[in-house]
Structure 1
């Protein structure tokens, strides 16, 4: 069984956070005796620092116990650090990526990994992506853009050109939504996260981006947000409005099948619809382990999707 959506924090990254805790406002807080410390960086997006996040042996054992034979590890979104000065983001990216490279080198049959990059400086992001892939990583995990700057903005051209040249996997994973309307009942996570993916993916699709960078393999988290389930609306807009169709060479539903999607949906009917809509080879097994809202173990083992994503 494969797991293409799982997260880990190497010990070297934790050490960096402790050494720079004042610089990045890292705080460890005990909320209850039966839970691990909660880690908060820059007063945002606190999460329980479970042992499975930070202990390589335990992480691998948990994967083995669940029947997962190979995992594609991603850095955690809480440590993207895009809202910090560029030198901080770059420094942590380098530490994180070298640590993951060492981890997969020692466990090459069981692990692959994606990098984190300093997206707040696209030139540095391109260089770090190249370096990380030279170390053996498969691409990068990124957020859906910067504050008020979409990923299709010309600002990011150096990064996308390098990603396209490298034929990299780019896993788009949102941060918690800060929409003031969603600040209750865990809605930033429950609907804000898939909503951010929806906005980002729709922009990529409608902009003609997928024709401009055809070799980038874009993986969308959590089943692609809400986009696959409203593709008919985009198709209708394509039929009716030249403002939609002018940027595209085919209907939106054709472009939808050029993304990859994880199956972290927690609902078999939704998953079956996704597979029917985009094709079996565009859906990969994932868990979001070890976050609280994980599907553990992954609910299906779709090797054709994994092979097409990893080019194996």
Structure 2
């Protein structure tokens, strides 16, 4: 069994955080007696820093116990550092990518990894992507854009050009939604996270980016958010409005089959619907381990999807 959606923080990254604690406003907070410390960076997106996030031996042991034969490990979104000056984002990307590359080489049967890039500078992001893949990483994990730029904007063209040339996996993972209406009852995580993916995925689909960059392997987290459930609405819009159809050569439902999606849905009927909608070769197993809302172990084997994404 594979796991395409899982996160880890190498010790070198923790050391970097402590060395730059004041610069990035990193805090380790003890909230509850029976829980590990929470890590908060720049007053955003705090999470429990469970031992499985940072202990490589424990991580692999838990993977083996769960029956996972191989994990594609990603950096955590809380450490993308897009809010900070470019030199900070470049620095942590370099440390994170090098650390993950070194770790995966110690256990190549169990591990491979994605890197992180300074997305705020697409030219530099392209360079860091190339360096990461030269070290053996399979691609990168990125956020769903920046505060005032969508991933389909020409601003990001240098990054996607390089990802296309390298045939890289680009795993698009949401950051917590900051819609003020959601600041209650854990809604930023419950529905804000898949909503961010929905907006990003819809924009990329309608932009025709997969025709422009056909060799980029775009993988969406959490089953593509709410997009699969509303694809009929997009198809209807394609028939009605030129603003929807102008950059597409087929209906949106056809383009959905040119992306990949993880299985992190916590509901078998939802997962079955996703597979029927996009095809069994487009849904890869994922868990989101070791975050609280993880599906552990991941659901299903999805062999044809694994081959199509890694091939």
Shorter-chain TM-score above 0.5: yes
Do structure 1's residue 163 and structure 2's residue 158 form an aligned pair? no
Matched position secondary structure for 2:112: strand
Q: 1 CA distance for matches of 2:93 and 2:210?
A: 26
> Post-superposition shift, 1:120?
0.8
1:18-60: CA deviation from partner (whole Å, max 9, x where unpaired): 0110010000011111111000001100000000000000000
Counterpart position of 1:282 = 282
Q: 2 CA distance for matches of 1:48 and 1:104?
A: 24
Counterpart position of 2:84 = 84
1:176-232: CA deviation from partner (whole Å, max 9, x where unpaired): 000011110000000000000000000000011110010000000000000011000
Counterpart position of 2:50 = 50
Q: 2 CA distance for matches of 1:209 and 1:273?
A: 25
Q: 1 CA distance for matches of 2:177 and 2:67?
A: 33
Counterpart position of 2:298 = 298
Moved over 2 A (4+): none
Matched position secondary structure for 2:6: strand
> Post-superposition shift, 1:136?
0.3
Q: CA RMSD in A?
A: 0.5
Counterpart position of 1:216 = 216
Counterpart position of 2:13 = 13
Query: How many correspondences in the alignment?
Result: 311
Q: 2 CA distance for matches of 1:152 and 1:272?
A: 29
Q: 2 CA distance for matches of 1:302 and 1:160?
A: 27
Note the 1:33-48 alignment, pairs <5 A: 33-48=33-48
> Post-superposition shift, 1:304?
1.2
> Post-superposition shift, 1:302?
1.0
Do structure 1's residue 139 and structure 2's residue 139 form an aligned pair? yes
Counterpart position of 2:98 = 98
Q: 2 CA distance for matches of 1:290 and 1:242?
A: 43
Matched position secondary structure for 2:152: coil
Matched position secondary structure for 1:150: coil
Counterpart position of 2:203 = 203
Matched position secondary structure for 2:126: helix
Matched position secondary structure for 2:35: coil
Structure 1 stretch 183-192 or stretch 239-248: which is displaced more? Answer: 239-248
Structure 1: 5+ residue runs without aligned partners? none
Q: 2 CA distance for matches of 1:76 and 1:293?
A: 14
Q: 2 CA distance for matches of 1:57 and 1:243?
A: 51
Q: 2 CA distance for matches of 1:292 and 1:211?
A: 37
> Post-superposition shift, 1:268?
0.6
Q: 2 CA distance for matches of 1:295 and 1:124?
A: 34
Matched position secondary structure for 1:231: helix
Q: 1 CA distance for matches of 2:36 and 2:209?
A: 42
Counterpart position of 1:249 = 249
> Post-superposition shift, 1:73?
0.2
